[in-house]
Structure 1
């Protein structure tokens, strides 16, 4: 339990820029995964870990929709939904924290709305507490691919080039001493001698998954308020803080420009001053996190960053691409108990009208949906208020709400967005159908994105 010690912030204002085909008609945070909105998963994780409250940051245009969706999920965690100002949907994640900084009263945990995981936060929180850290980041080891990962991503063929980070971790202390993108370096990675002397057992990783779960000291919000040029957490703020760990406090010079809010601009080390109790204890403490010199605990660093790497059996996936969205929908029923902490699963909604006798155990059916006789369903997530007419076969598909599929259709490995209608005797394989698009009767499509012209122009 962590009541009162940490606040929780869920970042849910993103547009889903890498998966615009499915976010053109609904907020990314409300994309369905096993007929639950995406943002439900991190909120359920926080609830499972003992958090009583969470702040959820959403786009101005999405607040009502998000609130209505979450009210139906039965979460017990208290949710404070904060909408960004109108016209500010392009703000970065650090900008969003700046906007809610007055609501941050303690150290806090930042979670992305698109992360689905079974990892416990408690080891990361304990690492943060034990070392009086400024930042603790949670990483996961790469997982083995499963057979469902071999299915193609619905839509046109594209080369998926995953982002990779360079992460340097002191193997003895778990200090995070390097955080950068692989794309920032051409061939060589420069490392200073001072850094290697200070952290001789440095492990470099290029395949760890950044969970986008960050435990942050309260003063980080005040630092963001001052450093308004740092717009994003992952791309700008966190690499900056990691680099500044070993920097010496700078003294203001005569003629320095005053801060925007008045007064002289503060160095990051001034924000990171230890509490009175810690500053008294450290000089007389016999504990140490390193060897080989006479420096004090933490080697006199005021700013300290740490990395917690979850064990290899843990599951975690950031659903921020079309490939990841297809993957999580194929896996979610297998890992449901692990990622939800045993939350009851409503696979076939009692309000659905199911006349089909061929619905396998890997299929979900939403409220008010009709499955006619002589239909077949395998490995499919079917949303609410859908109508599937007779002589239709559907396998490995994600079908959102208010979709109508007429007689005699065959669909394999497709994603159908809200309000789609599929004409009779149509065959779709590995296709993505945009919101409210109608596919004419008798058509055959393979690995295509089918959408109305206005949706295509927007993308």
Structure 2
């Protein structure tokens, strides 16, 4: 490895409230993207970029994350540790696992899908020598993210966490009015990927009120004249913490936009297949799609484009699914239609069901035959939708 930083901390403890109802049954780092948990993609990224030690900080449904790591950890060339701590926020979690960190390190949020070149980021951090560096990406809409004022020499002189539109306007006006020697990049946002000198742990210990990176730590560092550098990243990056972007991330992975990360299975002509898939004669497959283990696609069914079927799914005769994600053990009945939707595990659709765009159905929901679930409807887990009626 050509650089010294070998340790990464993944923050995987959030409740994922913006992803409900999906995260009522599964922690956000384990939601599948291309039939692999998001956490798997993050670990592969770290492995590919030469990291050796990974600390995963868990909280909400932490036992499920521990169980997953115990199953797959041996297949990765990483030393993975999950400390027994009760973290109250993002920076607090790193503070409480400080005894496991003996060198400079990076922090990466557990709700992003990215192929950003972390080795280049670390080289930038080590060359610039500040206490912290933040990876930044350009976005059309910076609202909802941390934005920065970045100087010509890449130093961050102001950090504003999730500003309102009025705040962005006033900041831009202020820097333009006074013609200060800084550029305000309103379209550069915080990716949730940070590099730190180990000294940051001492600052956290001395200031127990600093709980969150964006709301507390970075503003504190700027106000106290610590050097924070901003690195403008290239490559793919998406925060999958909201339902719309979660679906987009799955489609982007199918489109090979996140290479070298990829869906589960082996690829044949734009189709990612796992073992035990049965595609009956007369079924139509429109790439790109990804299909998990032991899936049955009956004759007359149409799967794709941009469909992801988890393990043990069933697509009945004449049924169609496109631009959608179905988790494990989803059943799609005869002549049903699913377009632009997300179906959690064990969802069952009766015959001739219509699922419209932007619908999200939680785990274990049963939709009776001949039902129409209209655009944007969210159905929470373990419910039965019976009778012939329109769900608005």
TM-score by length of 2: 0.86
* Matches of 2:5 and 2:274, distance apart in 1: 38
CA-to-partner distance for each residue in 1:223-282, whole Å, 9 max, x for gaps? Answer: 11221111111221112112211xxxxxxxxxxxxxxxxxxxxxxxxxxxxxxxxxxxxx
* Matches of 2:39 and 2:133, distance apart in 1: 22
Larger Cα-atom Rg: 1
Decide whether aligned partners of structure 1 residues 162 and 191 sit closer, same or farther in structure 2, where only a CA change above 3 A counts.
closer
> Do the aligned partners of 1:114 and 1:319 also contact (CA within 8 Å) in 2?
yes
Aligned partner of 1:450 among 360, 368, 379: 379
Local SS of the residue matching 1:82: coil
Aligned partner of 1:107 among 91, 104, 109: 104
* Matches of 1:186 and 1:42, distance apart in 2: 31
- In the other structure, the counterpart of 1:358 is 284
- In the other structure, the counterpart of 1:61 is 61
**Pairs within 5 Å for 1:51-450:** 51-59=51-59, 61-68=61-68, 71-72=71-72, 74-85=75-86, 91-142=88-139, 162-171=143-152, 173-181=153-161, 182-183=163-164, 185=167, 188-189=170-171, 201-245=181-225, 303-311=226-234, 314-335=235-256, 338-340=259-261, 345=266, 347-355=272-280, 357-378=283-304, 379-430=306-357, 431-447=359-375, 448-450=377-379
Local SS of the residue matching 1:179: strand
* Matches of 1:26 and 1:391, distance apart in 2: 31
- Listed as ranges, the gaps of 5+ residues in structure 2 are 385-392
Q: What's the CA shift for 1:417? A: 0.6
> Do the aligned partners of 1:164 and 1:207 also contact (CA within 8 Å) in 2?
no
Q: What's the CA shift for 1:179? A: 0.7
Q: What's the CA shift for 1:213? A: 0.5
> Do the aligned partners of 1:2 and 1:51 also contact (CA within 8 Å) in 2?
no
Local SS of the residue matching 1:330: helix
* Matches of 1:341 and 1:446, distance apart in 2: 31
Decide whether aligned partners of structure 1 residues 243 and 345 sit closer, same or farther in structure 2, where only a CA change above 3 A counts.
farther
> Do the aligned partners of 1:371 and 1:387 also contact (CA within 8 Å) in 2?
yes
Answer 1 or 2: higher relative contact order, Cα 8 Å, separation at least 6.
1
Q: What's the CA shift for 1:174? A: 1.1
* Matches of 1:138 and 1:92, distance apart in 2: 20
Q: What's the CA shift for 1:375? A: 0.9
Count of residues in correspondence between the two structures:
371
* Matches of 2:100 and 2:264, distance apart in 1: 30
* Matches of 1:112 and 1:77, distance apart in 2: 18
- In the other structure, the counterpart of 1:26 is 26
* Matches of 2:381 and 2:43, distance apart in 1: 34
TM-score by length of 1: 0.74
Local SS of the residue matching 1:185: helix
* Matches of 1:341 and 1:170, distance apart in 2: 36
- In the other structure, the counterpart of 1:263 is none
* Matches of 2:263 and 2:25, distance apart in 1: 31
> Do the aligned partners of 2:254 and 2:290 also contact (CA within 8 Å) in 1?
no
What is the alpha-carbon root mean square deviation over aligned residues?
Answer: 2.8
Decide whether aligned partners of structure 1 residues 454 and 239 sit closer, same or farther in structure 2, where only a CA change above 3 A counts.
farther
- Listed as ranges, the gaps of 5+ residues in structure 1 are 144-159, 246-302
> Do the aligned partners of 1:63 and 1:82 also contact (CA within 8 Å) in 2?
no
* Matches of 1:208 and 1:44, distance apart in 2: 26
Displaced runs of 4+ in structure 1, greater than 6 A? 190-193, 341-344
* Matches of 1:50 and 1:366, distance apart in 2: 29
* Matches of 2:35 and 2:367, distance apart in 1: 24
Q: What's the CA shift for 1:137? A: 0.4
Q: What's the CA shift for 1:368? A: 1.8
> Do the aligned partners of 1:168 and 1:178 also contact (CA within 8 Å) in 2?
yes
- In the other structure, the counterpart of 2:35 is 35
* Matches of 1:139 and 1:46, distance apart in 2: 18
